Amino acid sequence: MQKADLSQAHLDDADLRMVNLTYAKLQGTYLSGGDLRGANLRFAFCEHAIFDYSNLGGANLGDAYLREAYFDRANLAGAILESADIGEAEFYGATGLRSDQVKGAWNWPLANYTYSDSATHEDTALGNPGEEKRLLGELGLPFDHKARVRAKDLHNYNLGRASFRDVDLSGFDLREANLEEAILYGVDLHGAVLMAANLKRANLGNQARGYSSLEGSDLENANLQSANLQDAQLTRVNLKNSRLDKTILYGADLISLTTKRLCIATVPFSSQILANQVEHCGEGTEEVVFLNMELQASFGHAQSMPRAS
């Protein structure tokens, strides 16, 4: 059944043990109660697929597209989710799911793991509070995670090493969030609030995966030390008091920045690009300090400081 198109098919309670469904199209497919133990669904397209009450023990879902898929009360013990996209997928009441499985997937912080918004509901056919609370605890997520994602509130979340790809985080509250070593490929962060966020060594894109947009976002007091912002869209970004030590900014759009008291140290950056964009960088540009850089261009209001010894 490799590459089979089973979209919208009704396969409830089907015996699909050890079946090869790699690259299969399962969009909106009904698989409730099915036995998929040991099945291979690598690279399968399963958007909106329904796996409620199914047995996926030991199944391989690596690299599968599982956005908005339903795994309510499913058994996922030993299932492989490495590099699968589980953004907005539903896992409430799922059993056997461990944090190491979840954190190997793309967009795991945007999935739902509880039936109710508060995870304080009584055990019903629609939820399993014991399993849900255990998993939330392992993932370091609050019990009201579902409600907070809906409200675009990830303030103070620990998302270190989390992987995001091709998702809309525009307008999200990410104040004081830990995004150290996080991967954000092709992510829309337009207007997001990242004040005092930690993006140390974060990777915001590459040519193959897509670059992220931070246009109009607030990065005041943010730590961007050693972050990769190559070709990032930084138009109208507030970088007041932020730290960009060794930050990669090749090709980044820095037009109209608010950069008061910005310190850029040992940044691998094209001086000509910097000159073209910082010279007219807009209001609030004061005390921009460049350390350990070879700058030969004219910067208008910005000043190049002598190389530190």
Domain ranges of the chain: 1-151, 152-309
What is the Cα–Cα distance from 25 to 14, expressed in whole angstroms? Answer: 17
What pLDDT score was predicted for residue 269? 46
Structure token digits, residue 281: 């960088």
What is the Cα–Cα distance from 233 to 256, expressed in whole angstroms? Answer: 11
Asked if the model's pLDDT at residue 122 lies above 70, the reply is no
In CATH terms, the superfamily for domain 152-309 is E3 ubiquitin-protein ligase SopA (2.160.20.80)
Cβ atoms of 51 and 74 closer than 8 Å: yes
Query: By three-state DSSP, how is residue 134 classified?
Result: helix
What pLDDT score was predicted for residue 174? 97
Mean pLDDT calculated for residue range 7-24: 98
Residue with tokens 């089907």, as numbered in its chain: 14
What pLDDT score was predicted for residue 280? 39
CB atoms inside a 10 Å sphere around CB 159: 23
Q: What is the pLDDT of residues 222-251, one digit of tens each?
A: 999 889 888 888 888 888 888 888 888 777
Asked if the model's pLDDT at residue 162 lies above 50, the reply is yes
- Range scoring the smallest mean pLDDT among 77-91, 194-208, 256-270, 271-285: 271-285
What pLDDT score was predicted for residue 257? 63
pTM summary value? 0.83
Q: What is the pLDDT of residues 201-210, one digit of tens each?
A: 999 876 677 7
Domains 1-151 and 152-309 in one fold: yes
Residue 218: DSSP 8-state: B
Does domain 1-151 match CATH 2.160.20.80? yes
What is the Cα–Cα distance from 56 to 207, expressed in whole angstroms? Answer: 35
- Range scoring the smallest mean pLDDT among 233-247, 256-270, 277-291: 277-291
Q: Which residues, other chains included, contact 245 with Cβ-Cβ below 8 Å and sequence gap of 6+?
A: 225, 226, 263, 264, 265, 266, 267
Cβ atoms of 71 and 93 closer than 8 Å: no
What pLDDT score was predicted for residue 258? 63
Q: Residue 149 corresponds to which amino acid?
A: V
